[in-house]
């Protein structure tokens, strides 16, 4: 049986983890996988998470199963942070999932169940695991323009023109904030235009929300999702707690399905059914930590404050990298780095330049020249800037 297996393509993000580990050079810099790191290179356990973990350890009396959909208190707490009351409660169905990727996977399975011929439209470029999962599930796929390589901002005209071709019942995958990989994001007015277009076309947004709080703040980062959720009759939201709560390995995610109040029961039943088929009960530990934090106003404040520190740290790194590059090159060419939001920016270096940055300078980034801003610190910003100025044409 196993002889029939074919080799699988390597994930270009995960591939970097091993390459970086295997590099013996002491000054190497990891700007690869999207994990937040502080100035010492540590991915910290957030203060509120630590407190919640202690409380949970002391108070938890059972490890019996939760419901198939996970704990309703988790759905309520996290969907409150995301939707902020923009949608009537009786329209919202939700299931806990193993991480944001689990939520994406379950959303795609739900789409296939409801509407096997629906195409899923992806931004060009997008997180490489999006097309990978869609191909794996055999779901028809299409691309919409998103990034303007010249301005390194959103190609809003191209995006709206392509989304104008979407058929009724198609699904459009959108990054709710902090676009991965580009770091370029539509303005709120452009988001409203996207929402109106999707309503006019009868298309369904599937919002990947993995970086709420990493861009312009918790509320501002949720605003596009709220606009879409308030205007579109049917919406899917795949939310991740990995970055926002720093609980990557806990695999904590939430899939929200919004329909009419009459559709809600059927959406909920199908989401629970899909959980049962794929892994039965979803993981609970991370979800419980998040619920403990969000149900306690004091812990919520501690969490939100640390998230804001993380956001401002990344923003400061963006600004100092852009400034250093302006100083070294005497040009504004790299100013976009300060304007981008979230963990990532795509530099626009060629594959050969990315390889040279790695081989000659020990600087690791994804092959499309995506850098993780959080992989930098005050000492490595000038090193990266020097390398970019020397190597990127
Ligand atoms: C990334 O884009 O680096 C993160 O979302 C981590 C991952 O799983 O790829």
Check residue 125 and give its pLDDT: 98
Q: What is the pTM of this model?
A: 0.97
pLDDT-derived band at 362 (thresholds 50, 70, 90) equals very high
Check residue 55 and give its pLDDT: 98
The single-letter DSSP state of residue 29 is: E
Check residue 12 and give its pLDDT: 86
248 C-beta closer than 6 A to ligand 1: no
Q: Are strands 120-124 and 141-145 parallel, antiparallel or unpaired?
A: parallel
pLDDT-derived band at 221 (thresholds 50, 70, 90) equals very high
> Which pairs from 12-21 meet CB under 8 Å and 24+ separation?
12/128, 12/366, 12/367, 12/368, 13/128, 13/366, 16/364, 16/365, 16/366, 19/358, 19/364, 20/364
Q: In whole angstroms, what separates CA 63 from the centre of its chain?
A: 30
Residue with tokens 């039943």: 269
Check residue 10 and give its pLDDT: 87
Q: Catalytic residue at 243? A: yes
Helices (H), 42-147: 47-59, 72-83, 99-114, 129-137
pLDDT-derived band at 59 (thresholds 50, 70, 90) equals very high
- Encoding tokens for residue 164? 């104008």
Please give the mean pLDDT across all residues of the chain: 97
CB 346 within 8 A of CB 152: yes
pLDDT at 291 over 90: yes
Q: How far is the CA of 297 from the centre of ligand 1 (A)?
A: 30
Q: Which of 310, 336, 312, 311 is CA-nearest to residue 322?
A: 336
Residue nearest to atom 6 of ligand 1 (CA): 34
Instruction: Ligand 1 pocket test: pick from 33, 125, 252 the residue with the most ligand atoms within 8 Å of its Cβ.
Output: 33
Q: Are strands 171-175 and 120-124 parallel, antiparallel or unpaired?
A: parallel
């Amino acid at each position: 049986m196993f002889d029939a297996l074919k080799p699988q393509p390597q994930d270009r993000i995960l591939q970097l983890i091993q390459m970086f580990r295997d590099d013996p050079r002491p000054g190497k810099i990891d700007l690869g996988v999207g994990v937040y790191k502080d100035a010492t290179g540590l991915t910290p356990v957030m203060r509120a998470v630590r407190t919640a973990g202690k409380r949970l350890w002391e108070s938890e009396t059972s490890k019996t199963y939760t419901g198939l959909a996970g704990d309703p208190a988790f759905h309520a707490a996290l969907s409150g942070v995301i939707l902020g009351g923009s949608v009537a409660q009786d329209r919202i169905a939700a299931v806990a999932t193993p991480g944001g990727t689990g939520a994406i996977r379950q959303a795609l399975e739900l789409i296939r169940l409801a509407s096997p011929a629906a195409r899923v439209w992806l931004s060009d470029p997008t997180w490489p695991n999006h097309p990978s999962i869609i191909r794996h599930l055999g779901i028809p796929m299409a691309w919409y323009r998103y990034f303007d390589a010249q301005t390194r901002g959103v190609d809003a005209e191209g995006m709206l023109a392509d989304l104008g071709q979407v058929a009724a019942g198609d699904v459009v995958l959108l990054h709710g904030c902090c676009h991965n990989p580009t770091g370029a994001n539509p303005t709120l007015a452009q988001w409203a235009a996207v929402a109106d277009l999707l309503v006019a076309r009868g298309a369904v947004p599937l919002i990947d929300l993995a970086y709420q709080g990493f861009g312009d703040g918790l509320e501002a980062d949720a605003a596009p999702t709220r606009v879409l959720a308030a205007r579109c009759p049917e919406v899917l939201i795949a939310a991740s707690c990995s970055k926002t709560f720093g609980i990557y390995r806990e695999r904590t995610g939430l899939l929200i399905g919004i329909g009419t109040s009459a559709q809600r029961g059927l959406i909920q039943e199908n989401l629970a059914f899909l959980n049962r088929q794929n892994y039965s009960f979803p993981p609970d530990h991370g979800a419980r930590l998040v619920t403990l934090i969000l149900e306690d106003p004091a812990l919520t404040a501690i969490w939100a404050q640390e998230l804001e520190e993380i956001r401002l740290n990344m923003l400061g790194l963006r600004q100092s990298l852009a400034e250093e590059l302006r100083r070294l090159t005497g040009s504004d060419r790299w100013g976009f780095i300060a304007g981008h939001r979230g963990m990532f920016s795509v530099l626009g270096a060629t594959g050969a330049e990315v390889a040279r940055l790695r081989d000659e300078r020990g600087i690791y980034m994804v092959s499309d020249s995506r850098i993780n801003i959080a992989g930098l610190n005050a000492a490595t910003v000038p090193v990266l800037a020097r390398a970019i100025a020397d190597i990127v044409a």
